[in-house]
A and B are shown apart, each in its own frame.
Chain A
């Protein structure tokens, strides 16, 4: 099957979030991805978009969010381009997931979930070309037979095969 690509662009405002989610969901379904992988990719895309809408474009005229989804064999590649001030995901502090409820801050989980939900994250910024975030999600075809029996439901998030450093 040849690779398929689709593009979508809207202003980076919260009311456009469902349109971005629908766009990625449709690409997932067309690619025949399993539901858990689709949910994981939806989570990563939402976290990136909401971060841009609430923070990246905060205090300025909202610029566009451009989204490309390319279906490759057994994986989906989502590229998100924005024109907000550069933000480097690796600079986001890792959340303390073991603190008690009183100490636990509200928020700070978005980038943690992005990195956990997908298999690769790449970020490039350029003054003229904007900032480009690439998310790669390995997908499993629906109704795949388990070669070694049923190991229970597959959850697409936080798959042990993930290696965020592998490009």
Chain B
């Protein structure tokens, strides 16, 4: 898994590539937590290149979502592939996470 962080106005895009599994989810948690710790709690996780997610990855997302919302921000997902979307659906994450077709739309959803 590779993570690239890019600031976009008031939001931060965390672009993830590869698999978010039991071995890599910890690194994603750390990367997202660092953004919140630095006061950048409007986070877009760009899932365009995420091919796989397991419950360890879901745990990382939920932890970051809670952290971000407690700080007045949010974690929003973008460009989710079909198989990953299915795991999110089956896990009941669709009802608590906002997702968008692409990263630009997700960034725009935060407003100015």
**A residues touching B (Cβ–Cβ < 8 Å)?**
14-15, 17-18, 21, 35-36, 39, 42-43, 46-47, 49-50, 53-54, 95-102, 104, 106-107, 109-110, 112-113, 116, 153, 155-158
Chain B: which residue is nearest A43 at the CB level? B54
Instruction: Tell me the bound Cα distance from A38 to B112 in angstroms.
Output: 42
Given A95-B91, A113-B87, A113-B91, 18 new contacts (CB under 8 A): A14-B23, A17-B23, A18-B23, A21-B21, A35-B83, A39-B83, A43-B87, A50-B54, A96-B92, A98-B92, A107-B55, A109-B58, A110-B55, A113-B90, A155-B82, A157-B83, A157-B87, A158-B90
Q: Which residue of B lies closest to A44 (CB)?
A: B54
- A98 — which chain B residues lie within 8 A by C-beta? 92, 95
Asked if B66 is at the interface of the complex by the 8 Å CB criterion, the answer is yes
Could you tell me how many residues of chain B have their Cβ less than 8 Å away from some Cβ of chain A?
25
- Provide the bound-state CA to CA distance between A112 and B90, in Å: 9
Interface membership of B22, Cβ < 8 A = yes
B31 at the interface (CB under 8 A from A): no
Determine if A47 and B54 form an interchain contact, defined as CB atoms under 8 angstroms apart: yes
A47 touching B96, Cβ below 8 Å = no
15 contacts between A and B (CB under 8 A): A17-B22, A18-B23, A21-B21, A39-B51, A39-B52, A47-B54, A98-B92, A101-B62, A101-B69, A102-B66, A106-B59, A109-B55, A112-B91, A116-B90, A155-B86
Chain A nearest CB from B28 CB (Å) reads 14
> B-side interface residues toward A, CB under 8 Å?
21-23, 51-52, 54-56, 58-59, 62-63, 65-66, 69, 82-83, 86-87, 89-92, 95-96
Q: Which B residue sits closest to A105, measured CB to CB?
A: B62
* Residue of chain A at shortest CB distance from B22: A50
Chain A minimum-CB-distance residue to B60: A106
What is the bound-complex CA distance between A153 and B85, given in angstroms? 12
Residue of A nearest to B54 (CB): A46
Q: Which of A50, A112, A158 has the most CB of B within 10 A?
A: A50
Q: Name which residue of chain B comes closest to A153, CB basis.
A: B82
Q: Say yes or no: B83 contacts A42, CB within 8 Å.
A: no
Contacts of B95 in A (CB 8 A): 97-98
Pair A104/B59 contact, Cβ less than 8 Å = no
**Complex formed: what's the CA distance from A156 to B52 in Å?**
13
Distance from A28 Cβ to chain B, minimum over Cβ atoms (Å): 13
Decide yes or no: A46 and B22 within 8 Å by CB, A101-B69, A107-B59 being known contacts: yes
